[in-house]
């Protein structure tokens, strides 16, 4: 269907308003965009304020740091090069020639010692979080390894990504900086910055103007505030994690800025939803441009880690509790759903009406997207609150999905 019932639209707006109704302990503001297979906006709405204590309303033009929702865009970019034969998913020798740093990578043990790795790293490993890289905020031994300075994956500096592995390549799924390294691979093969590549080969072909790794002045003027939720639920405005992206100005600063393929983009909900429409449909409904062949998208949506334990059993510690909450599993499972990982995103069903094998992922500042190719619908739910795992945002995303599927079933 090409539109949602007005009853469902009103219910969605009411639900968004309700989650922002408590100015101190609710969500400060949210923006949601939902698209169908034809790329038409089924729903687009914003509620609440631009920030806690702000008088400015959140709007559909509000810009969010989308954090790890960037990973899927990096996946599309890398798979374009795979289609062209410029990159191979499974040639470790090629990746090590492009990134000779990988030759010297070693594997961090629980006691803090380093051992030799037993195999090379492939692009497929980088895109599926099986390369052995981790994140300091989800891995305590990695967090502690570089004390007292530590690693800061949000600094905007490349040297923060020169981290040891936390397991042998190919032997486990560990959420980490692998997709940042996939972005480095792309930059070295194309000779372009990742941001420039995104603009030329993804954003511009489908007519997107409010998405970038280096926000324009107009985007910065519409930037939603970043927030921290305290243990008692109180919300307060905090400094931005990706501050350098918002302050670089000179040409040399821009050249030295690390374009994070794992977490570097800023976007409106609407612009990002148009990329989701590409995954649903294969071509841009607005410009008619095709970014990837259907068989390439099929491969991205195939479970790449069937040989590894189900992701529902994966435990995430809060190694940096300011950024993330601890938790078990990635998404609530339903019967018959093992959960898997495609090329840069989770594959998971759920109780909302979505199909098993629906793609989804999220961002550390509590944003969530889903893309259901079988039922032809995708959506993006945005907030700017730390730590990740905010119960109110998760419940909102579940309720938005449920209401959308109700509307589609009419």
Question: In this predicted model, which residue has the larger pLDDT, 118 or 146?
Answer: 118
As beta bridge partners, residue 165 has 107
3-state secondary structure of 240: coil
To the question of pTM greater than 0.75 for the whole model, the response is: yes
Which pLDDT belongs to residue 256?
A: 96
pLDDT digits 0-9 by tens, 177-209: 999 999 999 999 999 999 999 999 999 999 999
Beta strands in 181-339 (DSSP E): 211-212, 227-229, 235-237, 266-267, 315-316, 327-328
For range 354-376, the mean pLDDT: 97
Q: Is the pLDDT of residue 14 over 60?
A: yes
**381: Cβ–Cβ under 8 A, 6 or more apart, which residues?**
30, 32, 269, 367, 368, 369, 393, 396, 397, 400
325: helix, coil or strand? coil
Host H or E run for residue 195: helix 194-198
Residue 2 has pLDDT above 70, yes or no: no
List domains and CATH numbers for the chain. Answer: 4-76+190-405 (3.40.710.10)
pLDDT band at 410 (very low <50, low <70, confident <90, very high): low
Overall average pLDDT of the 209-237 stretch: 98
> What torsion do the CA atoms of 25, 399, 59, 57 make, to the nearest 10 degrees?
-30
Burial 159-184 (b: 16+ CB within 10 A, else e): ebbebbbbbbbbebbbbbbbbbbbbb
Average pLDDT of span 54-75: 98
What pLDDT is recorded for position 310? 86
Q: Which helix H or strand E contains 386, and what residues bound it? A: strand 385-386
| Ordered strands of the 211-212 beta sheet | 64-65, 266-267, 211-212
- The rounded percent of the chain whose pLDDT value lies above 70 is 99
Confidence of residue 1 (pLDDT cuts 50, 70, 90): very low
What pLDDT, on the 0 to 100 scale, is given for residue 364?
98
Of the candidates 368, 364, 374, 373, the residue with the CA atom closest to the CA atom of residue 401: 368
CB burial class (10 A; 0-12, 13-18, 19+) of residue 274? buried
- Provide mean pLDDT across the span 154-182: 98
The CA distances from residue 51 to 14, 29, 48, 308, 392, in Å, are 19, 7, 8, 41, 16
| Residue 339 pLDDT > 80 | yes
Q: What is the pLDDT of residue 39?
A: 84
Report whether 310 contacts 339 (CB < 8 A): yes
409 Cβ contact list (under 8 Å, min separation 6): 353
By three-state DSSP, how is residue 296 classified? helix
Mean pLDDT, range 206-229, rounded to an integer: 98
CB 116 within 8 A of CB 122: no
Confidence of residue 382 (pLDDT cuts 50, 70, 90): very high
* Averaged pLDDT for residues 128-157: 96
pLDDT band at 307; cut points 50, 70, 90: very high
- For range 21-33, the mean pLDDT: 97
CA–CA distance, 133 with 181 (Å, rounded to integer) = 10
Residue 266 gets the label, from left (phi > 0), alpha (psi -120 to 50) or beta, of: beta
Cα angle vertex 262, ends 256, 268, to 5°?
95
């Amino acid at each position: 269907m090409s539109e949602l019932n007005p009853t469902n639209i009103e219910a969605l707006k009411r639900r968004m308003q309700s989650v922002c109704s408590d100015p101190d302990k609710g969500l400060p503001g949210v923006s949601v965009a939902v698209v169908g297979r034809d790329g038409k906006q089924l729903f687009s709405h914003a509620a609440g304020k631009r920030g806690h204590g702000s008088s400015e309303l959140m709007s559909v033009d509000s810009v969010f740091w989308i954090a790890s929702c960037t990973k899927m865009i990096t996946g599309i970019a890398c798979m374009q090069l795979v289609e062209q034969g410029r990159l191979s998913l499974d040639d470790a020798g090629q990746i090590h020639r492009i990134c000779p740093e990988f030759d010297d990578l070693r594997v961090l043990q629980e006691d803090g010692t380093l051992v030799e790795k037993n195999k090379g790293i492939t692009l497929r490993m980088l895109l599926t979080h099986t390369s052995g890289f981790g994140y300091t905020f989800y891995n305590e031994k990695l967090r502690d390894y570089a004390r007292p300075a530590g690693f800061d994956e949000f600094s905007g500096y490349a040297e923060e990504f020169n981290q040891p592995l936390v397991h042998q390549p190919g032997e486990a799924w560990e959420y980490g900086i692998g997709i940042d390294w996939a972005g480095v691979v792309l930059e070295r093969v194309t000779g372009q910055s990742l941001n420039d590549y995104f603009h030329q080969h993804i954003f511009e072909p489908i007519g997107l103007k409010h998405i970038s790794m280096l926000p324009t002045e107009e985007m910065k003027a519409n930037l939603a505030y970043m927030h921290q939720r305290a243990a008692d639920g109180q919300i307060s405005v905090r400094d931005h994690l990706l501050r350098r992206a918002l302050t670089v100005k000179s040409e040399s600063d821009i050249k030295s800025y690390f374009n994070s393929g794992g977490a570097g983009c800023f976007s409106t909900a609407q612009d990002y939803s148009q990329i989701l429409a590409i995954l649903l449909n294969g071509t841009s409904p607005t410009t008619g441009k095709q970014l990837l062949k259907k068989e390439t998208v099929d491969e991205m949506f195939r479970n790449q880690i069937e040989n590894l334990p189900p992701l529902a059993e994966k435990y995430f510690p809060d190694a940096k509790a300011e950024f993330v909450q601890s938790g078990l599993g990635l998404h609530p499972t339903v019967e018959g759903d093992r959960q898997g990982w495609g090329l840069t995103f989770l594959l998971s069903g759920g109780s909302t009406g979505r199909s098993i094998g629906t793609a989804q992922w999220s961002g550390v500042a509590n944003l969530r997207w889903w893309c259901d190719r079988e039922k032809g619908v995708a959506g993006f739910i945005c907030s700017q609150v730390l730590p990740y795992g905010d119960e109110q945002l998760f419940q909102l995303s579940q309720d938005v999905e449920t209401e959308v599927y109700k509307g589609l079933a009419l």
